[in-house]
Structure 1
Amino acid sequence: MITILGCVINEHNIWLVLVAALVCASGSWAVICLFERAARTKGLQRAGWHFLSAVAAGAAIWCTHFIAMLAYEPGAPVSFDPVMTILSLLIAIAGAGAGFIVAASGSARIAPAFGGAIVGVAIAVMHYTGMMAYRVQGIIHWDMGYLVASVALSVSISAAAFHTTMQTSLRGRRYLAAGLFFFGIISLHFTGMTAFKVTPLLLDNGFSNPAAMQALAIAVAVVALVLVGAGLASYFIDDSARTESLDRLRHMALNDGLTGLPNRASFIDRLDHEIDLASESGRKLALIGIDLNKFKEVNDLRGHAAGDMLLRALGERLSGLTGEGEFVARTGGDEFAAIQRFVDQARLQEFLVRLEQALFEPIEVNDFVIAPGASFGVAIYPDNATSREALISNADLAMYRAKADVAHHVCYYDQSMDEVVRARRSLASDLKAALDNNELDVHYQVQTSVVTSQIRGFEALLRWNHPEHGFIPPSEFIPLAEENGLILQLGEWVLREACGRAASWEPPYKVAVNLSPAQFVHADLAKLIIEVLMSTGLPANRLELELTESTIFQDKERSFSVLRQIKALGVNIALDDFGTGYSSLDMLRSFPFDKIKLDRSFINEAEENLQAKSIIRAVLALGKSLDIPILAEGIETKGQLTLLGDEGCDEVQGYLLGRPTTFANLIETGKISLVNKGEISLPRIAHQPLEIGDDAPDVLTRSA
């Protein structure tokens, strides 16, 4: 026989005490973990975790008690009252659950300790209810001192355990709390058993079956470990799911959803980190701004789905080419950024070569192959900048210079050269403000009949008088609008302004408006024209839309389909800059244009160059044979006008006949009058940013 804390245990049953300790220890750890999870959740989730915590606690407390009781040797036959035994288990589960609810309530600072005390009481009530279920053939005596001590230990230690659990600032609190809870259960049991004394009665029916008792103990232990294991499994599964969810959210927050590359937030964090490292180590850091060359073209001609496929393919390439000290991110749209720590220029050059290969190698998207290409701007830390903002800005400046230089894909930051780019970017910002603040104006250039010298109409031309820099040439601000996505807004504004003004003219002359390639590829062009005509009240036959051969040539099948829709409205279509495009005769064969505008380049040389004169004569003859009126642009001398008259040209336009002028000046000079006197109220458009192609020519603002 062995005595532990006054409890007499058969030496053959010492392993049962160890099993009881194992069940108690694993159960205590499970209870603390599950309770912590319950305390961090709310609503039905909290109720579910409380239930699991209560079941795990009840199993641990009850099984620890009964396994240890089976190891106890009273010296007389024993049995168990089934009703009281089951009641003791229910008391353990219900009491622990009540204590957990109070401890996690947060209603007061002492709530965790108070809830833990309730759990301690439940442990004590379970133990002594279980002792009432213990039927032994002998006389039972209780030592009240040990009995009171056992209850006090259980209540105080359990209170300390759950108070510790809720101390979030305490390191290792989970281990400490589990240890305290384990000690609280064990101390209650062994101190309570020390208070328990049995005087056996001499009876003839012998002792209980030891083998059966041991088998029962093993069964109870297995059930307890299964219950505790199930609780822990739920905890770990939930913990794993939470970790996966957090990882997924973190990945979504730090990575681009389309390409999988790090996003702008990741790029900024990494750049800050790399700048700090470069500053500490004395090494150099290269920041490379990257902009795709043909992404807008793919979006406009093939749709956004094709653009997304292109970006995904490029993302896969870029994610696989980085090595140590290198980083690539998608910072937005068709823009990327790369970072590299380097010591010598050769390593940086090698990285740039890899980037070029990845972005210039052809990619098959659906049924077509495209070599996207890119422009690279490189800024070096600390040579070109000593702060993150300046480094990014300088890399962008170099990249924009690379986009403007068709001979070079890579440009390094150069302060003297990139100041020009900086000025252009500032001007682009001013252009956006001018559009928002209605600082732009439409001028009108007269179109005249050669035979009668009568006015046939006016061409609307966009002009910008900058509040600080004065008149900005269209050749300067139109490319800016194309680069910065403003060309669609400008084109729509000119169309509305010109139609609104023309609706008030008397006589009812035609008004000619140029269409940019970006406007022409826009899906809702016909719908826009209908809306403008209806809102301004201009008859469709008084609007003439001009577009170049190059605009149509980008997608001939779609272009002719759109032109037919517009012509069906009654709007006139003029082929602009005739003779300078790709396939002029094929254009005339494929679509019935209402007018051909002969390019100014032929007119400029007509008086001296026999070849130019022959081309003019051939075009005019072609127009007569097809019954299409010809308008010659750029008439600046009387000799040019006489020549065109002799050759049978229908209409002319140029400085000789009238420079582009304001709407007010047309009225003052008597070229037009107003149908309704007074100020004309014109509709304004809401300026929404729209994407266009990079290679849109200057067709909004030509002046003849």
Structure 2
Amino acid sequence: MMTVLGCIVYKHNIWLVIVALLICGTGSWVTARLVRRAFATRGVQRAGWQFLAATASAVAIWCTHFVAMLGFDPGVPVSFDPLLTFVSLVIALAGSLIGFAVACSGFTRAAPALGGALVGLAIALMHYTGMAAYHVEGLVTWSWPYLIASIALSVGFGALALDCAARRADGSVAVVAGLFATAIGTLHFTGMSAFQVEPMAVSGHFSDPAALQALALSVACMAFVIVGAGLVSYLLDDSVRAESLEHLRSMALSDMLTGMPNRAAFNERIDVEMARAEAEGGRLALIGIDLNRFKDVNDLRGHHAGDEVLRILARRFASLVREDEFVARVGGDEFVGILRFARREALDDFLLRLETALFRPIRYDDWEVLSGASLGVAIYPDDATTKTVLVNNADLAMYRAKADLTRSVCFYEPKMDETARARRTLAADLREALARGQLSVHYQVQTSVPSGEICGYEALLRWEHPRLGFVSPAVFIPLAEENGLILQIGAWVLREACMRAATWMPPYKVAVNLSPVQFVHADLPALVSEALAETGLPPARLELELTESTIFADRQRSLDVLQRIKALGVSLALDDFGTGYSSLDTLRSFPFDKIKLDQSFVSEAQSNRQATAIIRAVLALGKSLGIPVLAEGIETQDQLDLLAGEGCDEVQGFLLGRPAPLAQLVQSGKIRLAGEPQTQLAAAG
């Protein structure tokens, strides 16, 4: 075989043989890439890639054959049958299409190999159809062993090529292209070894070798153009996919509102920076940033203003960040900074620039806001050796900075963990206290200033801890709000106060405070209605107190909730008036029945003229709107006299009575319980 094959190659024009081999190799490589893409897609896209792969395959098969044949010199005149030549091209294209369709069908695990065998068979059919179109002036004979071997080699290597292409793990493009080129090459040269010509003495007609070579080069050029078009389409699709993936990745790692890196980008960056810090022996600072008073901006100016504040801060951060520095937005008004550093001066400089950006006034439309922020810093590996602990420690430091009004930046200290653990323990104790009935309600008297008579009592929650003793509501109420316990506690206090008040004689009012969390997450009208129905307390004897900040999150919903509560016959009091927004629009828009003046103004009334002026203004406002005003925190007779002189309606404070359990009020005779003998009153509560 090698002797005959060498003879066949010897009879070829060596340059056209090289061109044919280039067509075969290039076409096979493009076909391999296109067919791999066909295996990786579905539906219409798969059909499109199959067509492109079949076109490249047909060009590689047909042009390799005919360029090689045009360079072949049998020593006798030759010609080509146009119809059979065209048919051979159709066989190459149709066979490739069918083969690739079968290979990608997935109807059986052997489908890729079966499809490849069909492509190999198409190569053989195309070759021998092309040979039938090749007319020579001589006696043609065929060597059947070589002919059968050529078909077997083409079918075998074709099956291997597509089976390998389907197995992406081990089917590289180079391997697939090599197998496909081998299928084409072995078919041609083995098939040509089977082709034998015995020249006949014929006078007159001789083929023109120069014309045949020119035709061969033209075919080769067209082959390269078509194969190149297939390659370009693949590369363009690859480029578009890469751009799309990069765009999607950028979107996934960017905050939609500000364009800053988001939490996902932060998690990716901190992993990289911690690894680099460990490898280089450096240190990494993680800075937790939480804006101050950002909720006030949303409440007073609307969420569009809050969004604009965030965008302005994002632009400031983008202008200050340098190489090896990183700032991301990880939550509503929460940001985080990362700095890998060797000298402490670099960290101090970064923190100074962050503070400058955060504390510089922000102008928006016709107003100006000074938000500021609390920054907590934790350093790797000094404060933590894992990402989770580092993030937690930065949060602890940030919360400490938020609680300390004297500084905006706080570095992590180990004792912060002790504080956090203590808060977690206290939260668990509070949950247990609620389950075991260890919470209690005390009542503080509210008195009419003109008559001196009792108007009602405010229900105040108290907790006597088994080990710690009395725990201030200022400590455990925020803890309950953070842990979601406030919903259960608030519902219990409401029912407890209504149940006890239903037995009071005289039938005083009872005032119950509402938490902002409770107002947002609970169906208050239904809860109040159920409490009144269960306890039998007349709605007119229940007063609910809430602060102005409670209703600002969603004014329309708040108005609807309060109107539904008012429809039950329950009265509403605006608590801590003067310390929050103190908006006149709130008093005009919402159905409040009482204004409670904050105790801070009463305590400063005798030493601060501004406090006195505010008291007078609030009392005048109440009278003009027809809303009674109750002043809190009355501790001295002078304070009471001042308020009486200014026309205050009601007062509440230690001077008139400290908060006390119901049993103590009953024992003192301030309250009697309906239907119980006087001797049994001390057992109440």
TM-score (norm 1): 0.77
CA distance in 2, matches of 1:157, 1:194: 19
Instruction: Pick closer, same or farther for the CA change 1:173–1:445 going to 2, 3 Å.
Output: same
Deviations 1:45-102 (A, max 9, x none): 3222222211211121112112222222344444333332222122112222333234
Alignment correspondent of 1:694: none
Deviations 1:369-419 (A, max 9, x none): 333321111222333333333322222111111111122111112233663
Alignment correspondent of 1:548: 577
Alignment correspondent of 2:518: 490
CA distance in 2, matches of 1:301, 1:662: 44
* Range 389-398 or range 155-164, more displaced: 155-164
CA distance in 2, matches of 1:565, 1:583: 22
Paired letter, 2:593: N
Deviations 1:435-466 (A, max 9, x none): 99999776554434456555434434455566
Deviations 1:266-311 (A, max 9, x none): 4344434444444454433322222111322222223333333333
Instruction: Pick closer, same or farther for the CA change 1:297–1:546 going to 2, 3 Å.
Output: closer
Aligned pair partner of 2:589 in 561, 565, 572: 565
Alignment correspondent of 2:679: none
**Counterpart secondary structure, 1:38:** helix
Alignment correspondent of 1:594: 627
- Determine whether 1:38 maps to 2:19: no
Alignment correspondent of 2:296: 297
**Counterpart secondary structure, 1:369:** strand
- Determine whether 1:230 maps to 2:258: no
Instruction: Pick closer, same or farther for the CA change 1:586–1:224 going to 2, 3 Å.
Output: farther
Contact 2:579/2:598 (8 A) holds in 1: no
Q: CA deviation at 1:428?
A: 6.0
Instruction: Pick closer, same or farther for the CA change 1:30–1:533 going to 2, 3 Å.
Output: same
Alignment correspondent of 1:56: 56
Instruction: Pick closer, same or farther for the CA change 1:565–1:70 going to 2, 3 Å.
Output: same
Give unpaired runs (5+ residues) of structure 1.
Answer: 624-629, 637-653, 675-704
Instruction: Pick closer, same or farther for the CA change 1:440–1:401 going to 2, 3 Å.
Output: same
Contact 1:514/1:547 (8 A) holds in 2: no
- Determine whether 1:158 maps to 2:158: yes
CA distance in 2, matches of 1:539, 1:263: 49
Q: How many residues align?
A: 625
Paired letter, 1:337: V
CA distance in 1, matches of 2:393, 2:370: 27
Contact 1:444/1:459 (8 A) holds in 2: yes
Q: CA deviation at 1:200?
A: 4.7
Q: CA deviation at 1:660?
A: 6.6
Alignment correspondent of 1:632: 651
**Counterpart secondary structure, 2:328:** strand
* Range 482-491 or range 237-246, more displaced: 482-491
TM-score (norm 2): 0.79
Alignment correspondent of 2:408: 409
**Counterpart secondary structure, 1:189:** helix
**Counterpart secondary structure, 1:6:** helix
Percent of paired sites with the same residue:
47
Contact 1:398/1:418 (8 A) holds in 2: no
Alignment of 1:24-423 (within 5 A): 24-105=24-105, 110-170=110-170, 173-203=172-202, 206-210=205-209, 212-416=211-415, 419-420=418-419, 422-423=421-422
Deviations 1:548-582 (A, max 9, x none): 023344xx3xxx33432323xxx514252385668
**Counterpart secondary structure, 2:379:** strand
- Determine whether 1:616 maps to 2:646: no
* Range 582-591 or range 434-443, more displaced: 434-443
* Range 434-443 or range 448-457, more displaced: 434-443
Paired letter, 2:585: S
Alignment correspondent of 1:655: 657
CA distance in 1, matches of 2:264, 2:230: 39
Instruction: Pick closer, same or farther for the CA change 1:507–1:351 going to 2, 3 Å.
Output: closer
- Determine whether 1:17 maps to 2:20: no
Alignment correspondent of 1:641: none
**Counterpart secondary structure, 1:550:** coil
Q: CA deviation at 1:126?
A: 0.5
Alignment correspondent of 2:7: 6
Which structure has the highest helix share of the two? 2
Instruction: Pick closer, same or farther for the CA change 1:631–1:500 going to 2, 3 Å.
Output: farther
Alignment correspondent of 1:680: none
CA distance in 2, matches of 1:222, 1:663: 108
Q: CA deviation at 1:34?
A: 1.0
- More relative contact order, 1 or 2 (CA 8 Å, 6+ apart): 1
Contact 1:576/1:596 (8 A) holds in 2: yes
CA distance in 1, matches of 2:559, 2:407: 39
Q: CA deviation at 1:203?
A: 4.9
Alignment correspondent of 1:696: none
Instruction: Pick closer, same or farther for the CA change 1:490–1:108 going to 2, 3 Å.
Output: closer
CA distance in 2, matches of 1:491, 1:437: 25
Deviations 1:302-326 (A, max 9, x none): 3333333333333343345444443
Contact 1:460/1:512 (8 A) holds in 2: no
Instruction: Pick closer, same or farther for the CA change 1:28–1:441 going to 2, 3 Å.
Output: farther
CA distance in 2, matches of 1:370, 1:175: 64
Contact 2:445/2:657 (8 A) holds in 1: no
Contact 2:103/2:162 (8 A) holds in 1: yes
CA distance in 1, matches of 2:29, 2:177: 5
Instruction: Pick closer, same or farther for the CA change 1:229–1:175 going to 2, 3 Å.
Output: same
Q: CA deviation at 1:341?
A: 2.6
Contact 2:446/2:652 (8 A) holds in 1: no
Alignment correspondent of 1:577: 598
* Range 128-137 or range 510-519, more displaced: 510-519
Q: CA deviation at 1:228?
A: 1.9
Q: CA deviation at 1:35?
A: 1.1
**Counterpart secondary structure, 1:551:** coil
Instruction: Pick closer, same or farther for the CA change 1:508–1:219 going to 2, 3 Å.
Output: closer
Instruction: Pick closer, same or farther for the CA change 1:552–1:303 going to 2, 3 Å.
Output: closer
Give unpaired runs (5+ residues) of structure 2.
Answer: 487-514, 603-610, 676-685
CA distance in 2, matches of 1:129, 1:508: 101
Paired letter, 1:539: G
* Range 142-151 or range 485-494, more displaced: 485-494
Paired letter, 2:657: Y
Query: In angstroms, what is the RMSD of aligned CA positions?
Result: 3.9
CA distance in 2, matches of 1:236, 1:377: 49
* Range 219-228 or range 455-464, more displaced: 455-464
Aligned pair partner of 1:512 in 539, 543, 546: 543
**Counterpart secondary structure, 2:590:** helix
Paired letter, 1:521: F
Contact 1:9/1:71 (8 A) holds in 2: no
Contact 1:85/1:130 (8 A) holds in 2: yes
CA distance in 2, matches of 1:464, 1:499: 27
Contact 2:596/2:632 (8 A) holds in 1: no
Deviations 1:182-204 (A, max 9, x none): 23212222232233233455555
**Counterpart secondary structure, 2:382:** coil
CA distance in 1, matches of 2:48, 2:673: 83
Q: CA deviation at 1:125?
A: 0.6
Contact 2:374/2:402 (8 A) holds in 1: yes
